[in-house]
Structure 1
Amino acid sequence: MEKENIAVGLDIGTTKIVAMIGKKNEYGKMEILGIGKAKSLGVHRGVVNNITQTIQSIQQAVQDAETSSGMQIDEVVVGIAGQHIRSLQHSDYITRSDSDEVIDDDDIERLCNQVHKLVMLPGEEIIHVLPQDYKVDGQAEITEPIGMYGGRLEANFHVVVGQVSSIRNIGRCVKSAGLELSGITLEPLASANAVLSQEEKEAGVALIDIGGGTTDLAIFKDGIIRHTAVIPFGGNVITEDIKEGCSIIEKQAELLKIKFGSAWPGENKDNEIVSIPGLRGREPKEITLKNLSKIIHARAVEIIEQVYLEIKNYGHEEQKKKLIAGIVLTGGGAQLQHLKQLVEYITGMDTRIGFPNEHLAGGDSNKEITSPMYATAVGLVLNSLQSKEKKTNANRAMATFDNSQEATATEEMETSEEDVATQTEEKTEKRKGFFDRWAEKFKEFLDNAE
């Protein structure tokens, strides 16, 4: 099977590590060939804090994916999140030497590379440079400058920055697990690719990805990424609160949250009680579902308010920046009952749960994969396949260009050969004429001498 058409995404999360193998089918949809999942040990709030445990978890997830697909995994695209991620806006420009030539990919690459050289705070590194809109010779609001004429090319950029040490630690874990790192993608961007439609990105939408350790935000407007943020807490803090509030162990708290948890306290009646077995022969604990949802509600409100603050920082109340498509919730935390209603209540914005089936090929095997908790992994595979496609197309274009150059050169050579042949013939004719004339004159001379 061709390796070019296959991509592997590795989602290193706080609660789970997922390895997913996918390929594009003939209809342009993505087929999942294999998936592996392992409990994430050694990652806290999206940041690796125990290298050995993380390597083991990665190896287990990759092994599972290899077993389920019957393929060998060599290189992966990894998602990055964590509280060290920040983003900033930046404008830059280049002056083109020849304004009579049209703007091409090389010019845009040169401009992006210039932004990559920005001086960051000590210990920080640029992860993504995302162009938002361009200006050509002062003409603003250009989304696609390729093919235009101009001397000065400007752009506004959304720059995503992370800590060098955190990025290196992820790289080290991947390499030590026997894999090659083919790229790093910001997790909210990957999730957005998996669950948002192009119409939503155009209309304006805020994607909230609630993971175990972090809650990621990505805001799109006019089809362009406008704002990203990582909030340093997610579903795990809710579990922690249940554990403390009900005096039970973490495993039980997690189960309680998944099976009976609700973000809206009004839903439960006072007499609804769940019994939890005690430890080592101790008395079982009885917990009212009303109390459970009160604990969850308090923490869920805190997370949503933090995210809403980021949406306000972006300035969504301005007419130009309005988010018409509202909010899309995804990630494992989005499965919490009545969370959608709570988000709508707090923000006053339309909300839906995002499932990563937008780009997936149909089939019964995908039922588990279309869960919001796999949004990041699906997005990573998609991103990787898209960038591979771009590279292949670029290489094809180059090959076509080279071939046409070669053909032109061959034609030129053939033409020049023909010219040479004609010139030689002409020279021969000339030479022949000269000899003939000379022979005739010599003959005449001899005749006269007689």
Structure 2
Amino acid sequence: MKQGKYSVGLDIGTTKIVAIIGKENEYGKIEILGIGKSKSLGVHRGVVNNITQTIQSIQQAVEQAENNSGLKIGSVVVGIAGQHIRSLQHSDYITRSNSEEVINEDDLDKLCNQVYKLIMLPGEEIIHVLPQEYKVDGQAEIKEPIGMYGGRLEANFHVVVGQVSSIKNVGRCIKSAGLDLGSITLEPLASANAVLSQEEKEAGVALIDIGGGTTDLAIFKDGIIRHTAVIPFGGNVITEDIKEGCSIIEKQAELLKIKFGSAWPGENKDNEIVSIPGLRGREPKEITLKNLSKIIHARVVEIVEQVYVEIKNYGHDDQKKKLIAGIVLTGGGSQLKHLKQLVEYITGMDTRIGYPNEHLAGDSDEEIASPLYATAVGLLMNALKTQAKKEAFQQEEQEIASAMGEKSMNTNDVDTAPTTTTVTRERKSIFDKWSDKLKDFLDNAE
């Protein structure tokens, strides 16, 4: 695989694992070059609980994507979710030693690093440190403080925390599947990149990604991430309820949900019946669609109400924090019939289904534009962005190196001041540093 041309997103979900290869075309849209999908066997509610099965599922999806595209997959960007993820708000500040100098990236790094040292519960570690607004010498609501003068630099942070062991298990699976771990991204953030517009993020929007094992929430306002949460229920719980309620096997329950399921019981008449073949010569079972949608409705209401509690916790009722763009539903579970209407009824907020097709090239396969692939497309976008940054930085370094080479020739090989070599440097985010730490751990844990 030619590095710099293609990138890979790997979505390790509870029901499916998707590997997606793509590149950016000349119009800035994403061209999908190959996709591989396999049944996820070793993941429960977003957390790996069987390493061997997860490795096999990853290899299957990767192999399929490679065969589809004729390319070799090396490094991947992976999504992380699961019930162990939680988020918190934190404020911190630094006092600058020289207020006569303008604020630079080093100051922001120093402030972020300080947050990174927060003491968490045992077994937890900070995954993302996301600055929201800055304050310089008491002047509030500054989005970009670089280039300003000031002695005290403050910021509000949205801190995402996860279980170290769960994250390391994901890393171990990637490595054992013969892949390199590019970076890890919180799945709701990846889905948000794929399906939300900048206008929605500015106006205020709640993204609800209903997966198989978990329902992820990401809230944006004024273009900044404000709140994230992972609710440990998803589409699989609905399937489980149908299985129990109708006394049928899981495979039949899943098919019933997809083909005839509805979140709104009033839609079905009492005389609408579906017949399920019996097991090994037993009589077929007859199930009324009204009963089916009652079972689905009860569980969906529970999931939506839990999400709404999180939206209220963020402060949606406060006029300043109001989410004008309402709710965007995505993920496989969002395809349930009449779910949009039910969410609007419970929350009273405008709702739409989010498709990741806005960022895809026009000739992309229709299947990929399904909400099912929102996270995978978001991870691919993330991988491409990281790749582009890396290339830009390398190019800048080469230009500086050649400029310095010319300079030394012009000055008859007189040594130039050593400070010029540090004109640019790649600014690593807290999360990149954390990813590097994880990679080191995995390399040493052989």
Q: Same fold (TM over 0.5)?
A: yes
Instruction: Report deviation, 1:412.
Output: 5.0
Alignment correspondent of 1:48: 48
Instruction: Tell me the amino acid that sits aligned with residue 390 of structure 1.
Output: K
1:159 aligns with 2:162: no
Write the deviation string for residues 274-318 of structure 1: whole angstroms up to 9, x where unpaired: 111000011001111001000000000000000000000000011
Instruction: Tell me the amino acid that sits aligned with residue 320 of structure 2.
Output: K
Matches of 2:148 and 2:275 in 1, distance apart?
69
Write the deviation string for residues 311-335 of structure 1: whole angstroms up to 9, x where unpaired: 0000001111010000000000000
Instruction: Report deviation, 1:138.
Output: 2.0
What aligned pairs does 1:79-158 form with structure 2 within 5 A after superposition? Answer: 79-158=79-158
Instruction: Report deviation, 1:415.
Output: 10
Change (3 A) 1:40 1:342: same
CA contact (8 A) 1:195 1:375 kept: yes
TM-score under structure 2 normalisation?
A: 0.90
Instruction: Report deviation, 1:411.
Output: 4.8
What secondary structure does 2:8 align onto? strand
Instruction: Tell me the amino acid that sits aligned with residue 370 of structure 1.
Output: A
Instruction: Report deviation, 1:13.
Output: 0.4
Instruction: Report deviation, 1:94.
Output: 2.6
Instruction: Tell me the amino acid that sits aligned with residue 181 of structure 1.
Output: L
Instruction: Report deviation, 1:149.
Output: 2.5
Instruction: Report deviation, 1:150.
Output: 2.5
Q: Which runs of 5+ in 2 are unaligned?
A: 416-446
Matches of 1:69 and 1:108 in 2, distance apart?
41
What secondary structure does 2:20 align onto? strand
What aligned pairs does 1:256-295 form with structure 2 within 5 A after superposition? Answer: 256-295=256-295
Matches of 2:412 and 2:103 in 1, distance apart?
31
Size of the aligned set, in residue pairs, is: 415
CA contact (8 A) 1:194 1:378 kept: yes
Matches of 1:93 and 1:24 in 2, distance apart?
39
Matches of 1:169 and 1:414 in 2, distance apart?
52
Alignment correspondent of 2:382: 383
Write the deviation string for residues 362-403 of structure 1: whole angstroms up to 9, x where unpaired: 11x420001001000000010111122223333334444455
Matches of 2:201 and 2:11 in 1, distance apart?
23
Matches of 1:321 and 1:66 in 2, distance apart?
45
Instruction: Report deviation, 1:261.
Output: 0.3
Matches of 1:19 and 1:135 in 2, distance apart?
41
What secondary structure does 1:263 align onto? coil
Alignment correspondent of 2:354: 354
Alignment correspondent of 1:423: none
Matches of 1:388 and 1:259 in 2, distance apart?
40
Instruction: Report deviation, 1:91.
Output: 1.4
TM-score under structure 1 normalisation?
A: 0.89
What aligned pairs does 1:60-79 form with structure 2 within 5 A after superposition? Answer: 60-79=60-79
CA contact (8 A) 2:408 2:414 kept: no
CA contact (8 A) 1:21 1:381 kept: yes
Instruction: Tell me the amino acid that sits aligned with residue 381 of structure 2.
Output: L
1:200 aligns with 2:213: no
What secondary structure does 1:294 align onto? helix
Instruction: Report deviation, 1:413.
Output: 5.0
Matches of 2:395 and 2:287 in 1, distance apart?
64
What secondary structure does 2:9 align onto? strand
Alignment correspondent of 2:227: 227
Instruction: Tell me the amino acid that sits aligned with residue 372 of structure 1.
Output: P
What secondary structure does 2:352 align onto? strand
Matches of 1:358 and 1:104 in 2, distance apart?
35
What secondary structure does 1:382 align onto? helix
Alignment correspondent of 1:370: 369
Instruction: Report deviation, 1:67.
Output: 0.5
- Whose radius of gyration is greater, 1 or 2? 1
What aligned pairs does 1:245-324 form with structure 2 within 5 A after superposition? Answer: 245-324=245-324
Matches of 2:104 and 2:190 in 1, distance apart?
27
Give percent identity, aligned residues only.
Answer: 81
CA contact (8 A) 1:196 1:358 kept: no
Instruction: Tell me the amino acid that sits aligned with residue 384 of structure 2.
Output: L
Matches of 2:33 and 2:280 in 1, distance apart?
43
What secondary structure does 2:321 align onto? coil
Alignment correspondent of 1:36: 36
Instruction: Report deviation, 1:25.
Output: 0.9
Change (3 A) 1:415 1:68: closer
RMSD across aligned positions (CA) = 1.7
Write the deviation string for residues 24-53 of structure 1: whole angstroms up to 9, x where unpaired: 111111111110000000110000111111
Matches of 1:199 and 1:353 in 2, distance apart?
16
Change (3 A) 1:31 1:353: same
What secondary structure does 2:319 align onto? coil
1:22 aligns with 2:22: yes
Instruction: Tell me the amino acid that sits aligned with residue 334 of structure 2.
Output: A
What secondary structure does 2:367 align onto? coil
Change (3 A) 1:409 1:64: same
Q: Which runs of 5+ in 1 are unaligned?
A: 417-450
Alignment correspondent of 1:395: 394
Alignment correspondent of 1:334: 334
Instruction: Report deviation, 1:117.
Output: 1.9
Matches of 1:323 and 1:65 in 2, distance apart?
38
Alignment correspondent of 2:169: 169
What secondary structure does 1:133 align onto? strand
